[in-house]
Amino acid sequence: MLMSWMRRLAIAAAVTVCAAPAAVLGQVTAYAPTMNEPPPGVDTNAGFELPYEYRRQAVFYRTNEEPGTIIVNTHDRFLYLVQGNNRAIRYGVGVGRDGFQWGGVNRITRKAEWPDWTPPPEMIERQPYLPRFMAGGAGNPMGARAMYIGSTVYRVHGTNAPETIGHAVSSGCFRLVNSEIEDLYSRVPVGTKIVVQHR
The verdict on whether 198 is a catalytic residue reads no
Evaluate whether 18 touches 153 at the Cβ level (below 8 Å): yes
pLDDT exceeds 70 at position 110: yes
What does the pLDDT look like over 51-105, one tens digit per residue?
Answer: 999 999 999 999 999 999 999 999 999 999 999 999 999 999 999 988 888 899 9
CA–CA dist 4, 10 (Å, integer): 10
Determine which one of 18, 157, 167, 198 is catalytic. 157
Q: How far is CA 126 from CA 7, 29, 51, 78, 175, in A?
A: 11, 9, 31, 27, 20
Q: Is there a catalytic annotation at residue 157?
A: yes
Phi, psi of 125 (to 5 degrees): -60, -40
Q: Which domains does the chain have, with CATH numbers?
A: 47-197 (2.40.440.10)
Pairing of strands 95-96, 168-170: parallel
Query: Distance from CA of residue 189 to its chain's centroid?
Result: 18
